[in-house]
C-alpha cells in the first residue's frame, strides 16, 4: 500500500479498493472452487494506517473483515469504538482502540535546519488574547509549519511562558536585551543557540513560578504535549534533554553570552526543582563559560557593541552572586568558585557596573539618554501610567535596582576581597577577625538608607498608581532599521514596572537581612570559641558571654525586619524570587535556635514566637517539591567499597 503524499487529508482516512481473489486466477466456477467475477470481495484499505498498524507495519484493512469477525464472535456490529469510529481488522482481533493520532511525516528530502519555535506574530495582541478567560485554550489544530518547541508544548504556550519571564523574572535575571530579544522572537530566527535560549527561559519560568503551572497546563489540553505538562519536573527535564540533544561535537568551539545564559538558566531551573547535583554541574558549566568569555576582565570588553557590553556586565554580577553564596553558605560540601584570590585582585568592580539605562535606551552603537516623552496618541489611563513611568525612570529603573543589589553583595564580600585577609581564618587572630566583622556589619546595616523610595524596605504601595499589577509585557514588531527609542515603550511595560519594583524590593532586602544574619553567625561563632578557650580567666570568659548576649538584640532586630518583609509584600511578588528567598528566610530563623538565654527568660520566649511566625511564613513561601540537599552530600561515590556494619556477614 502506498501512503498519500499529503500530510493532512481533508477527506475520510479510508478508501474502498477492490481486493483480487488470491485463490485462483480463473474466473470459471468449475475450477477448484474458483469464484466468478461478480462475487469478488470488497475490502476497505485505509489511506492512512492506524497507529497500531503503523507501529507493527501491518496492512490496515476495514470493511468485510469486520462483519465476518463480528459474526464469528457474536458481536455483530460491535466493531466501533466508544466514539463511534469503526476499527480495522487487527484492532478488532486484538481488541484495541483504532486511532489516527500519531502525526505523519511528509515524504521527500529533509529540511536543512529545524524551524525555530516561534511563528511570526504580534506579541502584544497575542499576549492579551491568552490572558482573556474566553480564549484560554490553545488551538493546536491550526494549520501552519511545525516548530521544534512543539515537542515541549504548543507555540502559543511557549510565548505565554516567555511573556511571564519578561514580566516577572527579568528584573532579577536580566540575561537578554529586551528589544533585540523581541525582534528575534518576531522574526523567527533559525538559530539552534537561540532555540536553546528559548527552552532555558521556559525552564526558569516553570521553576520559579509554580503558581502559574496550572494555567500552563490548561493551555495544553487537547494537544499531544499534554503528557509533558503533567508535572513541572517533566517539563524541565524535557527542555533540558532537548537542549542537550542539539549540542554537537563542536558546540563548545564557539562561546557566546547566549550559551552562558542558557547554562545559567538551566542551573537555576534545576535548583528550583530540587535537582541539586544536576544544578551543580550546570553551575560549573556557566562559570567556565564566563571565564572563557572574560566577563571579569574589563580589557576583554574591547570590540563589543553597547548591547553585548551591558549583557556581559550583568552576567559578571550574576556570577558574583554565586560566589558570595558559596562564601557564606559554609554548609556546602563543594567550594567551587568563579573567582580565586589572584583573580579578585585584578577585577575592576567599578568598571564592571552596568549602565543605569533601560534596554530600550541601549542600541548596538549608540546610547539614548533622552528623557521619556509621551506618545502622540494615548488614552487617559495610559497617560497617568506614563506620568508615573516618566517620574520613576528619571530617578530609578530596573538596572539601578540590579546595581543596588550588586552593591550589597559586593559590600558583604569585602573580607574576601581584601588581599591582606586572604585565608583569614588561619592567619588573622580571633580578636582582629571580630573587629573586622563588627565594622563590616555596622556598614552593611545602614547602607540602604539612601535607597530610592520605590525600593525601600518600609515602602508602601500607596504611592503606586491605581490598578497596577504584573502584566505580560507586549512588544511591537518593528523594522530592523528603526531605532528602539525609549519613548516607544508600550503601555504594558509601564504597568509591569511597579510590580517589578516590588519583586526587586523583596529580593534586595531579603539578601540584605540574610547577609547581616550570616555576619552575626560568624561573630557568635568567634565569641563562643573564645569563651571555651582553657587559657583565659573567668572574667574574660564572662566578658565573651556578655558580648554574645549583647549581639542577640541585633539578631532579634534582623528577625523582626524579615518578618515585616514577608508579611508586607504579597506572595505574587515574593514568588519570582524562588527558593533563594525561602532559604534566606529559613537561615535567619534557624539562627534563633542558638539562643544564649534560658527558656524562661523573655528573649528566649520572643525567639520561640519568631520561629513560629517564620515557620508559618515559610509554609506559604517554600513551594519546593523535594527536600533541600544543597548543604548535604547527596551524591554517591560508586567506586568506594560499601562498609558493612559489625555483626552482619
Mean pLDDT of 182-203: 89
Instruction: Tell me: pLDDT of 356 over 80.
Output: yes
Q: Which pLDDT does position 643 carry in this prediction?
A: 61
Instruction: Tell me: pLDDT of 182 over 50.
Output: yes
Q: Which pLDDT does position 220 carry in this prediction?
A: 81
Distance set, CA 375 to CA 124, 361, 381 (Å)? 17, 16, 13
Helices (H), 37-150: 51-56, 64-73, 89-93, 123-131
Q: Most confidently modeled of 200-204, 218-222, 327-331?
A: 200-204
Residues in the chain: 649
Whether 191 contacts 257, CB under 8 Å: no
Mean of all residue pLDDT scores within the chain: 76
Q: Is residue 85 part of a domain?
A: yes
Mean pLDDT of 375-381: 45
In the beta sheet, which residues pair with residue 16?
44
Whether 239 contacts 200, CB under 8 Å: yes
- Beginning with the edge strand found earlier in the chain, give each strand of the sheet holding 42-46 in spatial order: 14-18, 42-46, 61-63
* Cβ within 8 Å of residue 407, ≥6 positions away: 447
Looking at the fold, whether 81 and 203 belong to one and the same domain comes out as no
Q: Is residue 627 part of a domain?
A: no
Mean pLDDT of 486-490: 43
Whether 145 contacts 121, CB under 8 Å: no
Q: Is residue 24 part of a domain?
A: yes
* Residue-range definition of the domain harbouring residue 219: 110-293
| Range in 97-101, 122-126, 461-465 with the lowest mean pLDDT | 122-126
**How many other C-beta atoms can be found within 10 angstroms of the C-beta atom of residue 308?**
17
The helix/strand/coil state of 55 is helix
Looking at the fold, whether 58 and 114 belong to one and the same domain comes out as no
Q: Which pLDDT does position 390 carry in this prediction?
A: 46
Q: Which pLDDT does position 51 carry in this prediction?
A: 81
- Cell, residue 178: 529586551
Q: Is residue 544 part of a domain?
A: no
Helix axes 276-293, 306-328, angle to 10 degrees: 130
pLDDT band at 110 (very low <50, low <70, confident <90, very high): low
What burial letters (b/e) apply to 362-385, b meaning 16+ CB within 10 Å? bbeeeebeeebeeeeeeeeebeeb
Looking at the fold, whether 88 and 176 belong to one and the same domain comes out as no
What span, in angstroms and rounded, lies between the C-alpha atoms of 179 and 156? Answer: 20
Instruction: Tell me: pLDDT of 298 over 90.
Output: yes
Give the model confidence (pLDDT) of 386-429 as tens digits: 444 444 445 689 999 999 999 999 998 887 776 655 666 667 78
Beta strands 42-46; 14-18: pairing state? antiparallel
* Cβ within 8 Å of residue 264, ≥6 positions away: 173, 175, 286, 315, 318
**How many other C-beta atoms can be found within 10 angstroms of the C-beta atom of residue 311?**
25
Looking at the fold, whether 204 and 242 belong to one and the same domain comes out as yes
Q: Which of 272, 293, 314 is the last residue of a domain?
A: 293
Instruction: Tell me: pLDDT of 284 over 80.
Output: yes
Q: What percent of the chain has pLDDT over 90?
A: 39
Instruction: Tell me: pLDDT of 127 over 80.
Output: no
Residue whose grid cell is 524535557: 238
Whether 202 contacts 384, CB under 8 Å: no
Helices (H), 169-256: 178-187, 192-208, 213-219, 232-245
Looking at the fold, whether 45 and 179 belong to one and the same domain comes out as no
Looking at the fold, whether 81 and 141 belong to one and the same domain comes out as no
| Range in 5-14, 175-184, 367-376 with the lowest mean pLDDT | 5-14
pLDDT band at 84 (very low <50, low <70, confident <90, very high): low
Looking at the fold, whether 236 and 160 belong to one and the same domain comes out as yes
Mean pLDDT of 188-212: 92
208/340: higher pLDDT: 208
The helix/strand/coil state of 62 is strand
The helix/strand/coil state of 61 is strand
Q: Which of 258, 293, 328 is the last residue of a domain?
A: 293
Mean pLDDT of 6-35: 41
Looking at the fold, whether 137 and 213 belong to one and the same domain comes out as yes
> Strand (E) positions, 412-553?
none
Instruction: Tell me: pLDDT of 337 over 90.
Output: no
Q: Is residue 171 part of a domain?
A: yes
Looking at the fold, whether 26 and 154 belong to one and the same domain comes out as no
Whether 506 contacts 527, CB under 8 Å: no
Looking at the fold, whether 79 and 35 belong to one and the same domain comes out as yes
Instruction: Tell me: pLDDT of 27 over 70.
Output: no
* Cβ within 8 Å of residue 504, ≥6 positions away: 171, 172, 398, 401, 402, 405, 455
Listed residue (99, 102, 77) closest to 90, CA to CA: 99
Looking at the fold, whether 164 and 280 belong to one and the same domain comes out as yes
- Cell, residue 43: 475490502
What string of DSSP letters covers 589-638? HHGGGS--S-TTSHHHHHHHHHHHHHHHHHHHH---SS---TTS-----T
H or E, element range at 43: strand 42-46
Instruction: Tell me: pLDDT of 12 over 70.
Output: no
Residue whose grid cell is 516561534: 118
Q: Which of 45, 67, 93 is the last residue of a domain?
A: 93
* Cβ within 8 Å of residue 7, ≥6 positions away: 104, 105, 106
Kindly report the backbone phi and psi dihedral angles of residue 63, in degrees, each rounded to the nearest multiple of 5, phi listed first: 100, -125
Helices (H), 59-122: 64-73, 89-93
What span, in angstroms and rounded, lies between the C-alpha atoms of 394 and 383? Answer: 17
Looking at the fold, whether 247 and 184 belong to one and the same domain comes out as yes
What string of DSSP letters covers 268-329? HHHHHHT-HHHHHHHHHHHHHHHHHHTTT-GGGGTT--HHHHHHHHHHHHHHHHHHHHHHH-
Instruction: Tell me: pLDDT of 229 over 50.
Output: yes
Q: Is residue 211 part of a domain?
A: yes
Q: Which pLDDT does position 282 carry in this prediction?
A: 94
Whether 229 contacts 235, CB under 8 Å: yes
The helix/strand/coil state of 42 is strand
Mean pLDDT of 435-461: 86
Q: Is residue 218 part of a domain?
A: yes
H or E, element range at 39: none
Mean pLDDT of 252-273: 95
531/489: higher pLDDT: 531
- Cell, residue 541: 570568659
Instruction: Tell me: pLDDT of 443 over 90.
Output: yes
- Cell, residue 102: 500519531
The helix/strand/coil state of 639 is coil
Cα three-residue angle 593-598-604, rounded to 5 degrees: 50
Whether 188 contacts 120, CB under 8 Å: yes
Q: Which pLDDT does position 228 carry in this prediction?
A: 73
Instruction: Tell me: pLDDT of 349 over 90.
Output: yes
* Cβ within 8 Å of residue 18, ≥6 positions away: 40, 42, 43
What span, in angstroms and rounded, lies between the C-alpha atoms of 50 and 59? Answer: 9
Whether 17 contacts 45, CB under 8 Å: yes
Q: How many domains does the chain have?
A: 2
Q: Is residue 123 part of a domain?
A: yes
Amino acid at each position: 500500500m502506498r501512503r498519500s503524499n499529503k500530510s493532512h487529508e481533508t477527506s475520510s482516512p479510508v478508501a474502498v479498493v477492490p481486493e483480487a481473489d488470491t485463490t485462483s486466477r480463473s474466473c470459471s466456477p468449475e475450477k477448484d472452487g474458483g469464484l466468478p467475477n461478480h462475487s469478488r470481495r470488497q475490502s476497505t484499505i485505509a489511506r492512512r494506517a492506524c497507529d497500531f498498524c503503523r507501529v507493527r507495519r501491518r496492512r490496515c484493512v476495514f470493511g468485510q473483515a469486520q462483519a465476518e469477525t463480528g459474526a464469528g464472535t457474536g458481536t455483530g456490529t460491535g466493531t466501533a469504538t466508544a466514539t463511534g469510529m469503526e476499527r480495522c481488522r487487527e484492532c478488532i482481533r486484538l481488541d484495541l482502540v483504532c486511532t489516527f493520532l500519531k502525526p505523519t511525516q511528509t515524504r521527500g528530502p529533509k529540511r536543512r535546519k529545524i524551524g525555530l519555535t516561534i511563528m511570526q506574530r504580534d506579541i502584544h495582541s497575542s499576549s492579551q488574547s491568552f490572558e482573556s478567560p474566553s480564549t484560554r485554550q490553545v488551538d493546536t489544530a491550526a494549520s501552519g509549519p511545525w516548530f521544534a518547541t512543539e515537542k515541549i508544548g504548543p507555540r502559543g504556550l511557549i510565548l505565554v511562558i516567555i511573556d511571564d519571564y519578561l514580566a516577572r523574572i527579568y528584573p532579577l535575571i536580566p540575561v537578554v536585551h529586551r528589544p533585540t530579544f523581541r525582534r528575534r522572537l518576531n522574526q523567527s530566527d533559525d538559530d539552534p543557540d537561540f532555540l536553546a535560549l528559548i527552552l532555558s527561559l521556559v525552564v526558569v519560568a516553570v521553576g520559579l513560578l509554580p503558581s502559574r503551572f496550572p494555567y500552563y497546563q490548561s493551555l495544553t489540553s487537547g494537544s499531544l504535549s499534554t503528557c509533558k505538562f503533567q508535572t513541572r519536573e517533566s517539563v524541565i527535564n524535557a527542555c533540558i534533554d532537548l537542549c542537550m540533544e542539539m549540542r554537537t561535537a563542536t558546540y563548545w568551539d564557539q562561546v557566546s553570552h547566549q550559551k552562558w545564559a542558557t547554562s545559567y538558566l538551566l542551573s537555576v531551573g534545576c535548583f528550583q526543582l530540587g535537582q541539586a547535583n544536576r544544578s551543580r554541574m550546570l553551575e560549573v558549566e556557566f562559570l567556565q563559560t564566563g571565564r572563557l568569555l572574560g566577563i571579569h576582565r574589563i580589557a576583554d570588553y574591547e570590540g563589543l557593541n553597547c548591547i553585548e557590553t551591558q549583557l556581559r556586565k550583568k552576567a559578571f554580577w550574576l556570577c558574583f552572586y554565586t560566589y558570595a553564596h558559596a562564601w557564606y553558605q559554609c554548609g556546602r560540601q563543594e567550594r567551587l568558585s568563579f573567582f580565586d584570590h589572584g583573580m579578585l585582585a585584578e577585577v575592576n568592580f567599578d568598571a564592571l557596573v552596568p549602565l543605569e539605562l533601560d534596554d530600550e535606551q541601549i542600541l548596538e552603537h549608540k546610547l539614548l539618554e533622552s528623557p521619556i516623552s509621551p506618545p502622540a496618541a494615548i488614552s487617559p489611563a495610559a497617560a497617568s501610567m506614563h506620568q508615573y513611568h516618566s517620574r520613576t525612570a528619571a530617578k530609578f529603573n530596573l538596572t539601578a535596582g540590579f546595581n543596588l543589589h550588586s552593591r550589597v553583595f559586593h559590600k558583604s564580600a569585602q573580607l574576601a576581597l581584601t588581599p591582606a585577609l586572604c585565608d583569614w581564618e588561619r592567619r588573622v587572630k580571633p580578636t582582629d577577625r571580630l573587629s573586622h566583622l563588627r565594622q563590616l556589619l555596622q556598614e552593611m546595616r545602614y547602607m540602604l538608607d539612601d535607597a530610592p523610595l520605590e525600593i525601600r524596605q518600609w515602602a508602601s504601595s500607596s504611592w503606586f498608581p491605581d490598578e497596577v499589577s504584573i502584566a505580560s509585557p507586549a512588544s511591537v514588531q518593528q523594522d530592523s532599521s528603526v531605532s528602539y527609542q525609549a519613548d516607544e515603550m508600550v503601555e504594558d511595560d509601564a504597568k509591569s514596572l511597579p510590580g517589578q519594583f516590588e519583586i526587586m524590593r523583596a529580593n534586595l532586602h531579603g539578601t540584605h537581612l540574610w547577609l547581616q544574619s550570616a555576619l552575626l553567625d560568624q561573630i557568635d561563632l568567634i565569641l563562643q570559641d573564645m569563651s571555651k578557650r582553657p587559657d583565659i580567666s573567668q572574667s574574660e570568659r564572662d566578658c565573651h558571654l556578655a558580648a554574645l548576649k549583647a549581639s542577640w538584640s541585633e539578631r532579634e532586630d534582623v528577625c523582626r525586619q524579615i518578618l515585616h518583609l514577608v508579611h508586607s509584600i504579597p506572595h505574587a511578588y515574593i514568588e519570582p524570587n524562588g527558593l533563594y528567598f525561602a532559604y534566606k528566610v529559613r537561615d535567619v530563623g534557624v539562627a534563633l535556635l542558638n539562643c544564649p538565654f534560658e527558656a524562661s527568660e523573655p528573649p528566649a520566649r520572643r525567639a520561640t514566637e519568631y520561629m513560629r511566625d517564620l515557620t508559618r511564613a515559610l509554609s506559604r513561601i517554600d513551594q519546593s517539591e523535594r527536600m533541600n540537599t544543597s548543604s548535604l552530600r547527596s551524591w554517591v561515590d560508586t567506586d568506594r567499597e560499601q562498609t558493612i556494619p559489625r555483626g552482619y556477614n
